[in-house]
């Protein structure tokens, strides 16, 4: 009989290969599927205490989601997309569709928006931008991207799978600059890190956060969250994955299956880094940083020191999403379509919300007074506290 720890290692390796795309001619070996007897059994759900009053306010539909979706919120509008190329804007308060458009082909990454320009990346390696629901321009990329474009300051920034960063004019798509870094043999088929802090563009490149001058792409500083270790390419993979947690000038991020850490983005110094075995991004507040581990643990780290504040093991092996810190709760989705609301103070269950039974496709997001959840089958749900 296969030992439990060995099963977990092999399952994690299989998941890693499922997320990887070769950046060179290296081929990835196929891995056998494990029988149901070998897979860890998802934890049984405890009774729902329903101690946090929240209700489903509306439901909508966009289409199947099989790519690393980022739901972008600007004000009270949510921008989202589906695999078939659909891009839509939805009023978060009512669920009313404001506009819907097509990227003209399957989408690989999205969505980024500043409320005026909305952009996605297609599987054909094109950035497609929309204004008011109409296509404004499209621009070919030199490499595939799995990270949603970042739209700010009249520009569209794109982080490609080879860790290159390209800046495009938001109105025309004209290439303003491109910054190329040495690539790795393997990269994650997963959303990376890209955000603005003051007048700098912060991106994830390997296991490092890097600060770029948005005017020309020059590097201002680099801060390592994790360093590559191990004897093969998979074990050495430490790419930073989205989402991140920013409070003031402090940015916290996860390095794939390696660590969670925080960086002072004004100086480029690492405040702390702690070992963590997760593949999804994080979220947080002024007191804590929250994350889900690959085995289903939900962990809270103290934001000032990185020490663990609490760990919940109530959702083991349930295929959790990245979390959302909202009100007095931490919301995480699972592979059965449930959203679990845990207490920020101690991780105890406060409420459980059902969607359509398919896996949660993206980290829940907050838009005004509404929490928005998207499922793999394309269901969009708005939940509002009572």
pLDDT tens digits along 173-205: 999 999 987 766 677 889 999 999 999 999 999
Give the per-residue pLDDT at 6.
Answer: 40
Give the per-residue pLDDT at 116.
Answer: 97
Domain count, the chain: 1
Residue 143 neighbours by CB under 8 Å, 6+ apart = 23, 125, 160, 161, 162, 164
- The answer to which of 15-29, 127-141, 279-293 has the lowest mean pLDDT is 15-29
Q: What is the mean pLDDT of the chain?
A: 90
Q: 350 vs 17, which has greater pLDDT?
A: 350
Assign 36 a pLDDT band (cuts: 50, 70, 90): low
User: Looking at the domain assignment, is residue 17 inside a domain?
Assistant: no
Other residues' Cβ atoms within 10 Å of the Cβ of residue 258:
25
- 371 phi, psi to nearest 5 deg: -100, 125
User: Looking at the domain assignment, is residue 170 inside a domain?
Assistant: no
User: Looking at the domain assignment, is residue 331 inside a domain?
Assistant: yes
| Cα–Cα distance measured from residue 100 to residue 90, given in angstroms and rounded to the nearest whole number | 9
Give the per-residue pLDDT at 11.
Answer: 42
Give the per-residue pLDDT at 180.
Answer: 83
Q: What proportion of the chain, given as a percentage, has pLDDT over 70?
A: 89
Q: 24 vs 57, which has greater pLDDT?
A: 57
Q: What is the pLDDT of residues 342-374, one digit of tens each?
A: 999 999 999 999 999 999 999 999 999 999 999
Give the per-residue pLDDT at 322.
Answer: 98
Give the per-residue pLDDT at 333.
Answer: 98
| Cα–Cα distance measured from residue 9 to residue 164, given in angstroms and rounded to the nearest whole number | 31
20 has a pLDDT exceeding 50 = no
User: Looking at the domain assignment, is residue 338 inside a domain?
Assistant: yes
User: Looking at the domain assignment, is residue 305 inside a domain?
Assistant: yes
User: Looking at the domain assignment, is residue 4 inside a domain?
Assistant: no
User: Looking at the domain assignment, is residue 311 inside a domain?
Assistant: yes
The DSSP secondary-structure symbol of 226 reads -
| Cα–Cα distance measured from residue 221 to residue 230, given in angstroms and rounded to the nearest whole number | 26
Q: What is the pLDDT of residues 120-175, one digit of tens each?
A: 999 999 999 999 999 999 999 988 999 999 999 999 999 998 889 999 999 999 99
User: Looking at the domain assignment, is residue 372 inside a domain?
Assistant: yes
Please compute the mean of the pLDDT values over residues 255-284 and round it to a whole number.
Answer: 96
Give the per-residue pLDDT at 234.
Answer: 76
Give the per-residue pLDDT at 177.
Answer: 97
Containing structural domain, residue 330: 49-67+279-386
Residue 276 neighbours by CB under 8 Å, 6+ apart = 254, 258, 259, 260, 291, 293, 299
**Greatest extent of the chain over all pairs of C-alpha atoms, in Å:** 60
The CATH code of the domain that includes 366 is 2.130.10.10
């Amino acid at each position: 009989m296969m030992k439990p720890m060995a099963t977990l290692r092999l399952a994690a390796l299989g998941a890693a290969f499922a997320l990887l795309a070769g950046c060179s001619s290296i081929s990835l070996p196929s891995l056998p599927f494990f029988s149901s007897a070998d897979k860890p059994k998802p934890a049984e759900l405890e009774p729902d205490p329903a101690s946090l009053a929240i209700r489903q306010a509306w439901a909508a539909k966009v289409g199947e989601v099989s790519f690393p979706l980022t739901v972008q919120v600007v004000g009270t509008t949510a921008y989202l997309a589906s695999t078939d190329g659909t891009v839509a804007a939805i009023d978060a308060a009512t669920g009313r569709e404001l506009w819907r458009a097509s990227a003209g082909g399957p989408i690989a990454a999205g969505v980024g928006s500043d409320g005026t320009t909305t952009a996605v990346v297609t599987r054909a390696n094109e950035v497609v931008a929309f204004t008011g629901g109409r296509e404004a321009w499209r621009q070919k990329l030199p490499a595939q991207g799995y990270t949603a474009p970042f739209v700010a300051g009249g520009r569209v920034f794109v982080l490609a799978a080879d860790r290159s960063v390209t800046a495009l004019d938001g109105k025309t798509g004209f290439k303003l600059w491109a910054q190329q870094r040495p690539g790795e043999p393997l990269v994650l088929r997963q959303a990376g890190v890209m955000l603005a802090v003051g007048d700098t563009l912060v991106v994830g490149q390997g296991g490092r956060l890097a600060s770029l001058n948005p005017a020309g792409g020059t590097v201002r500083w680099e801060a390592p969250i994790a360093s590559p270790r191990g004897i093969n390419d998979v074990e050495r993979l430490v790419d930073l994955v989205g989402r991140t947690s920013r409070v003031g000038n402090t940015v916290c991020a996860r390095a794939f299956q390696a660590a969670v850490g925080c960086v002072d983005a004004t100086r480029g110094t690492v405040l702390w880094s702690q070992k963590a075995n997760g593949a999804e991004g994080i979220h947080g507040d002024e007191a804590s940083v929250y994350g889900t581990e690959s085995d289903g643990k939900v962990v809270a780290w103290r934001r000032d020191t990185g020490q663990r504040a609490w760990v919940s093991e109530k959702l083991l092996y349930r295929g959790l999403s990245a979390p959302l810190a909202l009100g007095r709760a931490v919301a995480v989705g699972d592979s059965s379509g449930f959203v679990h609301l845990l207490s920020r103070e101690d991780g105890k269950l406060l409420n459980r919300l059902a969607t359509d039974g398919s896996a949660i496709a993206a980290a829940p997001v907050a838009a005004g007074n509404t929490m928005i959840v998207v499922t793999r089958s394309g269901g969009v749900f708005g939940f509002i506290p009572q």
